[in-house]
Amino acid sequence: MNLWRKLACLGTLIVTDMAVLFLVFLASFFVRDRVLSFLPAFRQPPVPLNVQLGSGFAAGAAVLVLIFASLKLYSRRFSFWEETRLLVEGVTLAFLLIMTMIFLFRSYTLFSRTVIVVGWVLSLVVFPLGRHLVKILLGRIGLWRKNILVLGTGETARRIAREIRREESLGLAVVGFLSESKGQVGRSFAGGIPVVGTIGDLRRLIAELDVRDVVVAPSRRKQDTVLGIAKSCEHLVENIRVVPETGGDYTSGVRVEELRDIITLSLPRNLAKPWNTLIKNAFEFFLGFAFLILATPLLLLIAAAVGIESPGPVLFTQKRLGRGGKEFKLIKFRSMHRDAASRLAAYFHSRPEARREWKKFQKLRGHDPRVTRVGRILRSFSLDELPQLLNVLAGDMSLVGPRPYLPREKSRIGPAWEFIGRVKPGLTGLWQVRGRSRLSFRARLALDEYYIRNWSLWLDIVILLQTVKVLMAREGAF
C-alpha cells in the first residue's frame, strides 16, 4: 500500500511538472504573439506554436524532470521556501541547458528566444505555486500523508510539532507524542496533539498508527536511552530524525561535516564574513532606495494622519544599539501620546500583572495606554517602522537583520551580544516573521543568532516576502 502511494505521488508530481511547463510555454507564446507584437522589435511573427512544440517540448520536459530528480525534488520533502529555492535553481539550470542545446544543434530557427526567456520568468513563480497546491491536495486525500511520532514531550518536541503543522505541503502528520513517564499519557500538547504512550510503546504504536517517521527529541537525561530504543525500531520506519536538547541556543545552525573519517560539528557565521556583508549591503542599499521611492506617497499620508490626531512632532527618534555597540537614532512615526511615560507608570501602578508582562516581553501585548488611535493602526501593520528606510540608506540599519535593541537591553542580552552586536540591526527579521510580539526576549535572541549564522541572500528574500504576509495578516501584532 505504501509503495502504491509513493508511486502515485511520484507520478502525480512528474505529470504536474510537465503540465506546468506546457502551460508556461503556452502563456509565453501568447505574450510574445499578442502582447509584445505591438512593439517595433517584435513585429515579425514568432515561429508557429506547433513547430516549437513538435521540435523540442518533449526534450525540454525530459531535461527539466531529470534536473528536478537530481535535486531530490521527487524523493524528499521540503518546506515551501526550501523547495522554492531548489525549484528556482532547477528551472534556471534547465532553461540554460535548453538554450545551450538549441545553440549546439543549430536549431535556433525553430524556437523563439523571447518565448524561452518569458517562460523562464513565469516558471520561477508558477512551479513553486503549482507544486505547493498539488501537494496540499495530495495530502488532503491521503496520498501525501506520512504519520510521525515524536519521542519526547519537552519544549523542543512541542516546537517540532508546531513547525510541522505550519507546513501543510510537507504532508507530515504528528499523530502523537511518546512520553518518558506514564504520568503524561493522555495529556495533549502543541494545540491538541495527544501523548499516546510511553517510549517503551514505540514498537507497538509504529504498527498501530502506521508511523513512517520518528523524531527523537527527549530530555538530556534520557537522551541515550530513548535513542537506543528508537534505533532498535529503525527497520520498521523510513526515517529517524534526532533533535538533541542542548539546553541552550548556541548550537543553532550547527552543520555536520566530515574531516577525513572524523565527524565534526561546524558552527557557521555567514554574516560575520566581510564578503557576505559587502554583498548584503549593496543589495539592500538599492532595494531600500527603491522601497523609499515607492513608499513616499504613503509616508506623506501617514505623517498627515499622525499630526492631525495628536499635536507634536510626526517623527519619533529613539537611541538603539547598532553594529559594534555604536548607538544611532532609530526613526519611527510617533504612535504614542507625548506624556507616554506618565501614562505607563500610572497603568503599572493600577495593574501589577501588566508590569510582569512588560518585564518578560518588553511590550504590553494587550491594551497599551500610551498608544494613540492612529498609532494602534500603524503598529498593527508595522507602518510606524517605514521611516527606518532612511536608517537603512544612512547605513545604520539593514532591511533584514537582528532586532534593533535598546541600550538598556544590552546587559539583559548578556554574552550573546558579542555575537549579535557584530552585524547591523534590521527593519525586519526572523523575529518579525516568527511571532513578533508573541515571542519572549530569549526567543528573539535565539532567532537573531540563527539568522546571523545561516544568512544568505535567499534567506533575506524569503524574510522580506514573509514580512508582507505577516503584516497583511497582522500576525503577532500588539
Please state which of the ranges 254-263, 266-275, 382-391 shows the lowest mean pLDDT.
Answer: 254-263
- Assess whether pLDDT exceeds 80 at residue 368: no
Please state which of the ranges 156-165, 245-254, 266-275 shows the lowest mean pLDDT.
Answer: 245-254
- Assess whether pLDDT exceeds 80 at residue 51: no
The set of cell numbers assigned to 317 is 527618534
- Assess whether pLDDT exceeds 70 at residue 291: yes
- Closest of 275, 252, 274 to residue 265, by C-alpha: 252
Q: What is the pLDDT of residue 400?
A: 94
Q: Are 158 and 232 in contact (CB under 8 A)?
A: no
In this structure, which amino acid lies at residue 227? L
User: Would you list the domain boundaries of the chain?
Assistant: 2-140, 146-247, 274-336+371-473
pLDDT digits (tens, 9 = 90+) for 404-438: 999 998 888 888 888 899 999 999 998 888 876 67
- In sequence order, the 6+-apart residues with CB closer than 8 A to the CB of 464 are 399, 400, 428
- Closest of 147, 134, 129, 170 to residue 8, by C-alpha: 134
For residue 399, give Cα distances in angstroms to 137, 161, 434, 458, 467: 35, 31, 16, 14, 11
The set of cell numbers assigned to 191 is 494545540
In this structure, which amino acid lies at residue 364? L
Q: What is the pLDDT of residue 250?
A: 42
C-alpha 375/C-alpha 386 separation (Å) is: 13
Confidence of residue 333 (pLDDT cuts 50, 70, 90): very high
C-alpha 478/C-alpha 473 separation (Å) is: 13
Q: What is the pLDDT of residue 405?
A: 93
The set of cell numbers assigned to 441 is 526576549
For 434-446, what is the mean pLDDT? 77
- To the nearest 10°, the Cα dihedral for 246, 251, 253, 258? -100
Q: Which helix (H) or strand (E) holds 151?
A: strand 146-151
Percent of the chain with pLDDT over 90: 37
Please state which of the four CATH numbers 3.40.50.970, 1.10.10.410, 3.40.50.720, 3.40.50.740 is assigned to the domain occupying 146-247: 3.40.50.720
Q: What is the pLDDT of residue 247?
A: 41
